[in-house]
Structure 1
Amino acid sequence: MTDVITTQRLVLRRFRRGDAAELVDLLNNLEVVRWLTRVPYPYRLDHALDFIENVATRDLNACAILKDQKLVGTISVGEELGYWIGQPYWNRGYVTEAARAMVARYFESQDADLPSGYHLGNERSCAVLTNLGFRPTGRRCALSEPLQRDVIIQNMVLTRACWEAAQ
């Protein structure tokens, strides 16, 4: 991965240990984590440090999203495109901007379709994926760690052809 991706308003970079406190601040909000499946709640400093040291720093496709050098969210392309944004930064188009950059980088080196998905009811995430050209492919059940219950995930996929047609 390029160590840094710069968009018009954002910087996407690898996580650093110094990001831990900001991760804790942003993820200790049930309105954010209710739309995620693998994030514990409440979110503690040890969770953030474990994520940074054992996941984010080893996963070349996991990026901190920064606006004016302040952490605002996370985006990654592993098995699928995944992201979240802190509530103070909602409705500003940051996720779409960051996702557009990550998807462009993905298709520079990959021919495979790019999967993603969102919890049913998460209209913001539905809009982001739809605007990028993702199409629904089915639904599945997943355990939401923060909610401690099953949720329905709308599976989505973006093909290279749809991505290129939208550019």
Structure 2
Amino acid sequence: MVVEYEEIPEESSCFAAGSPQDTARLVIDRARKDDVADILFLANNRRIAEKLTNMPHPFTREDAKALVKRCEVQFPNQATFAIRMMNTGRIIGAIGFNPLTEDFGAVHLGYWVGEPFWNQGYATEAVQSVIEFAFSNGVKELSASCRVSNPASHRVLTKCGFKQDGTTKLHSLGAKAVVDATRFTLTRAQWIANMRWGYAG
């Protein structure tokens, strides 16, 4: 998964809704200009790009600057955030959501975490926080998709309450090919029910 590369809307229509809640180990906030070097170091990784759809490889300094720029504006159905370690403040990835035309306006969740931080539960923490943020700010349904060959992302989405909703084919910039992907959905009503019953995946 990856935050979509979208044009930034006019700042005059910006929606200020704050930031997602911090988790036990993470701070979810805006990327800053001084994060560019860390973003570039982590994101310029073919192993990450090939697991995603909209992350280019090579990932350039201009791509890193564009990610920081996307964090500067925010709307009810579109926002991008940095994922940081709480104990150090260093960025380890990014997460966000935005409407996709091909999903008929559904709000699509995307994220990535740098390879040194894989398999430690950070993506799950970040996704849970951003789900709550999105649904608390008016989003009614989230969609997500990940490559069939990316079981780690399948587990993250399932743990966070998403349900599989078929398969599709997506063009991956990193893989430079059309790839098979699994679609997932989560409605606000489902999320509320999951919270009420203590669902933990």
Indicate whether the TM-score tops 0.5: yes
Residue 110 of structure 2, aligned match among 53, 60, 82: 82
The match for 1:56 is 71
Aligned match of 2:150 in 114, 122, 126? 122
Identity fraction in percent: 31
Match of 2:92 among 62, 67, 72: 72
Moved over 6 A (4+): none
Residue equivalent to 1:2:
18
Question: CA distance change for structure 1 residues 118 and 4 in 2, over 3 Å: closer, same or farther?
Answer: closer
Distance (Å, rounded) in 2 between the aligned partners of 1:72 and 1:111: 26
Match of 2:46 among 30, 33, 39: 30
Structure 2: distance between partners of 1:63 and 1:49: 13
Q: CA separation of 1:22/1:75 partners in 2, compared to 1, >3 Å: closer, same or farther? A: same
Q: 2:102 maps to what in 1?
A: none
Task: Name which of structure 1's ranges 131-140 and 2-11 shifts more when overlaid on structure 2.
Answer: 2-11
Corresponding residue of 2:104:
none
How much does 1:99 deviate? 0.7
CA–CA distance in structure 1, aligned partners of residues 193 and 143 of structure 2 = 17
Following superposition, the deviation at residue 28 of structure 1 comes to: 1.6
1:12 to 28, 39, 62: 28
Structure 1: give runs of 5+ residues left out of the alignment. none
Aligned residues: 166
| RMSD of equivalent CA atoms | 1.5
Contact 2:19 2:133 in 1 (8 A): no
